[in-house]
Amino acid sequence: MIRFILRRLLWAIPTLLIVTFLVFVAIRVGTDPVASYLRINSRASPAKIQQYKEANGLIGTIPEQYVRWLWKFVRFDWGVSIKGRVPVWPSIKAALSNTFILGAFASVIGITVGLGIGILASLKQYSKFDSLSSASAFIGLSIPPYISAVLLQLVFSYYVTKWFDLSKPFLPPSGVYPPGHGDNFDLFLRFKHLILPGTVVAIQTIAVYSRYMRASLLEVKNSDYLRTARAKGISETRVIVRHALRNALIPIVTVAAIDVGAIIGGLIITERIFEYKGMGDFFLTAFENGDFPQLMPWMVLVVISLILFNLLADVAYAFLDPRIRL
Amino acid sequence: MTDLSEFEAAVSSPHVPNDELDSDEVNALIESVSPSRLALRRFMRHRVAMASLVVFTLIAIWIILAPITARYGEIEILAPFNGKRGLNSPGAKAWFGTDQLNRDLYSRIIWGGRVSMFIGLTVALFASVIGTLVGAVAGYRGGIIDDMLMRTTDLFLAFPTLVLLLVIRNLFDQLTWLNWLVGDLKSIRFIIVLLVALSWMSVARIVRGTVLSLKEREFVEASVALGSSAPRIVVRHLIPNAIGPIIVALTTSVVAAIVAESTLAFFGFGIDPVYKTSWGGLLGDSKGQVLTGKWWLLVFPGAVFVITIMCINFIGDALRDAFDPKQGQARR
């Protein structure tokens, strides 16, 4: 097992190098850093432009630039953004922690509720509950996050506020904290701002995981070893919990690991609509500004998280399923 | 046949093993119905899917007949009424209300639907053709083509879709030698090329998987023995036999393309909103307006959009069951 993990981690290094190089080329060619600089500093003198180019390693062929960028990157010299000259690392760190909180909040609720619904639905296959949950999951999957997000804003930030004649929105439609609050930690306000974006993400998660769980448990229910377990005279609860659920959860754990890894870069739509300052919003803002120094570290962090969580999924699979030898 | 048990075994296991066929297939053998006929029959029995098909057809007709069904032009600005130059709530003059520039939302949903549907269907068509060919060749040939396909798609499928769309959008815009193909950054053609470039991959993976299992079958072996060339086997035998998964992948890519286009348009990276609109563009218009209670801007386009997506999803799901009933049993 340890050898497997080490080998995979070693493999991750060349993968990371190749992927970051491709991403570097794509972004470098796609967004002209000099043009982005000029858009913000429209009257920069040629000397200033030259200075900017040198500071950001924009001289020479693209492979040369990549090597220079990589060398600075691994020494944690991540530079400053083009717009506003903000240091990249502190802002990406803040975005990471915001996304982590939103992702954890939404996935914990989404996955537990989704699994619960899936288990109930498959235990009572073809019941009313089963068809109702299937239909809801189908509807949930057909509603893109930007529609549910704006709908939630309309209902909970506008209408509920209006009906109850509140002075402030019932649930805040945007931000991590109310405007003017600053960054002082306040659990209640923080939670209030998490509810709407968290719900948008959780709806999708519930829909997906209830389907997974249902399908997985139904497959296990027809297996021979469950018949054997029942034939041994084990109580039905124990058959379901110890034999059926344990096996049905194996594929789901691996899917969940990959999904959680994707959260780091994947909540762009929700974060943008709720102006939630996470990684997705960070990416979109950097993209709109053509902010090369911000885009590359973002990409690298997303790729690292994808690779790590894929590895985690494989390890979890081997750990949970004794039939698999690494 | 001296032993009675042997006789019983012979009787109870007839030529076609019973437990591998469902009742439809047994009936089909008796009536001699073709597999596609059988699939159609299974599809028709799916009530929700049939209802979805009807609704989808109605929406399609409503959209195709835009010159008749739409009350105003696509970007026609109405003269001020109810004392307002824009954001009129639904009423007799504008059934679904008007937007900020006083353009009729009802008409714009119809016109926008044309763009969304056109993009969805065109992208799905191109993506399926390219994906089928690449997937079939990769699955049949294996080797380096297959490795390259799988590694590239692994890479692309790992990234968040929106990130890929945006980065590749910029890349296509900057690569001058692609200009003849992609056209202007804010044109429909650009969006179509962009979406095809990303969506053929999932079709290719599905077809590859199907072909991998098909190529071990006897009829392919027979064709090889008869001296058929590889292109002939791919085109005449493998692709026609993989038609079920291909059609299912086609419906999935229609949904994926419509959703992807509207995501881009929602955030202002879509087609030029001055001349044309799409459902995503209309939804994007609602973004800033709901906090002042302009509900119609979200509710009407949102409802039409979600109903359409749901219909295609249900149709796709029923098609999957129809072509591959055994796989569907766990999900149903």
- Does the model's ipTM exceed the 0.95 cut? no
Tell if the CB–CB gap between B313 and A138 is shorter than 8 Å.
yes
Mean pLDDT of A183-190: 82
Within 8 A of B162 by CB-CB distance, chain A residues are 268-269
Q: What local confidence, expressed as pLDDT, does residue A182 receive?
A: 72
Distance in angstroms (rounded) separating the CA atoms of residues B76 and B108 = 9
Predicted confidence at residue A300, as pLDDT, reads 92
Residues of A in contact with B288 (CB under 8 A): none
The pair of structure tokens assigned to B193 is 């090329």
Chain mean pLDDT for chain B: 85
Cβ separation of B263 and A146 shorter than 8 Å? Answer: yes
Virtual CA dihedral for A155, A158, A162, A163, nearest 10 degrees?
A: 10
The contact set of B with A (CB < 8 A) is: 155, 158-160, 162-163, 166-171, 173-175, 259, 262-263, 266-267, 283, 286-287, 290-293, 295, 298, 302, 305-306, 309-310, 313-314, 330-331
Q: Which residues of A touch B282 (CB under 8 A)?
A: none
Q: Which alpha helices (DSSP H) does chain B contain, by range?
A: 4-12, 23-31, 35-45, 47-64, 66-69, 105-141, 143-158, 161-174, 179-182, 188-214, 218-225, 230-232, 239-241, 243-266, 279-286, 296-323, 325-328
Q: What percent of chain A has pLDDT over 70?
A: 99
- Angle of helix A46-55 versus helix A33-40 axis, rounded to 10: 130
User: Mean of the pLDDT values across residues A114-141?
Assistant: 92
- B298-308 average pLDDT score: 95
Residue B203 C-alpha from the chain's centroid:
10
Least confident of A158-167, A201-210, A223-232, B24-33: B24-33
The two three-digit tokens of residue A311, written as one number: 């590895």
For residues A236-246, give the mean pLDDT.
Answer: 88
User: A268 and B286 in contact by Cβ < 8 A?
Assistant: no
Give me B52's structure tokens.
Answer: 């979805």
What band does A326 get if pLDDT is binned at 50, 70 and 90?
low
B197 band by pLDDT with thresholds 50, 70 and 90 = very high
Task: Specify the 3-state DSSP secondary structure of B77.
Answer: strand
- Determine the pLDDT at residue B327: 54
Distance from B71 to chain A by nearest Cα, in Å?
26
What gap in Å lies between CA B69 and CA B124, rounded to an integer?
Answer: 26
Q: Residue A272 half-sphere exposure, CB side, CA atoms within 13 Å? A: 25
Residue with the bigger pLDDT between B293 and A110: it is: A110
Q: How many angstroms separate the Cα of A197 from the Cα of each of A15, A17, A109, A191, A262? A: 33, 34, 13, 11, 17
In which residue are the tokens 């600053």 written? Answer: A182
DSSP one-letter string for A63-104: HHHHHHHHHHHHTT---B-TTTT-BHHHHHHHHHHHHHHHHH
Q: What is the CA radius of gyration of chain A?
A: 24
pLDDT score at B309: 94
**Does the beta-carbon distance from A154 to B295 stay under 8 Å?**
yes
Residue with tokens 């296990």: A220
State CA A8 to chain mean position distance. Answer: 22
Q: Nearest 5°: CA angle at A177, between A171 and A180?
A: 115
Partner residue facing B309 (CB), from A142, A173, A215: A142
Joined tokens for residue A313: 């999924």
Q: Inform me whether the pLDDT recorded for B319 exceeds 80.
A: yes
For residues B157-182, give the mean pLDDT. 88
The mean pLDDT value for B132-159 works out to 88
Q: Which range is least confidently modeled, A314-323, B137-146, B271-280?
A: A314-323
List CB contacts (< 8 A) between B160 and chain A. 262, 265-266, 268, 302
What integer pLDDT is reported at residue A95 of this predicted model? 92
H helices present in A143-245, as ranges: 145-152, 160-163, 187-221, 224-231, 236-238
B305 closest CB neighbour out of A147, A173, A284:
A147
- Answer yes or no: is pLDDT of A35 > 80: no
Give the residue-averaged pLDDT of B214-239.
90
Which of A151, A268, A284 faces B298 most closely, judged by CB atoms?
A: A151
A70 touches chain B (CB under 8 A): no
Scan residues 219-258 of A and list those with Cβ closer than 8 Å to B. 219
How many other CB atoms are found less than 10 A from the CB of residue A32? Answer: 16
pLDDT tens by residue, A211-231? 999 999 998 888 888 889 889
The Cα–Cα gap between A168 and A4 comes to 55
Residues near A70 by beta carbon (within 8 Å), at least 6 away in sequence: A17, A20
Supply the angle between the helices B243-266 and B296-323 in degrees, to the nearest 10: 170
Q: What is the pLDDT of residues A36-48, one digit of tens each?
A: 777 777 777 888 8
A134-138, B20-24, B58-62: least confident range: B20-24
Cα separation, B102 vs A100, in Å, equals 42
Residues of chain A with C-beta less than 8 angstroms from the C-beta of B290:
150, 153-154, 157-158
Interface test with A, best of B290, B295, B311, B331 (most A CBs within 10 A): B290
Q: Name the token pair of B142.
A: 């294996």
The pLDDT, as a whole number, for residue B328 is 45
CB B121 within 8 A of CB B59: no
Distance from B128 to chain A by nearest Cα, in Å? 22
Whether the CB-CB separation of A297 and A87 falls below 8 Å is answered with: no
Of A30, A262, A272, the CB nearest to B170: A30
Task: Give the per-residue pLDDT at B13.
Answer: 39
Closest Cα in chain B, distance from residue A86 (Å): 22
Token pair for residue B60? 């399609």
Q: Say yes or no for a CB contact (<8 Å) between B331 and A211.
A: yes
Q: Give chain B positions within 8 Å (CB) of A146.
A: 263, 266, 283
Q: What is the pLDDT of residues B66-90, one digit of tens each?
A: 899 988 888 888 888 888 888 888 9
Given a cut of 60, is residue B230 above it in pLDDT? yes
pLDDT of B239 > 80? The answer is yes
- Percentage of chain B surpassing pLDDT 70? 89
Compute the distance between CA of residue A1 and CA of residue B6 in angstroms, rounded to an integer. Answer: 50
Between CA B126 and CA B199 the distance in angstroms is 9
CB pairs under 8 A between A and B: 99
CB contact under 8 A, A146 and B266: yes
Q: Which residues of A touch B158 (CB under 8 A)?
A: 303, 306
State the DSSP H helix or E strand holding residue A131, giving kind and residue range, or none if neither.
helix A128-142
Alpha-carbon span A276 to A102, nearest angstrom:
9
Give the Cα separation of B75 and B104 in Å (integer).
Answer: 9
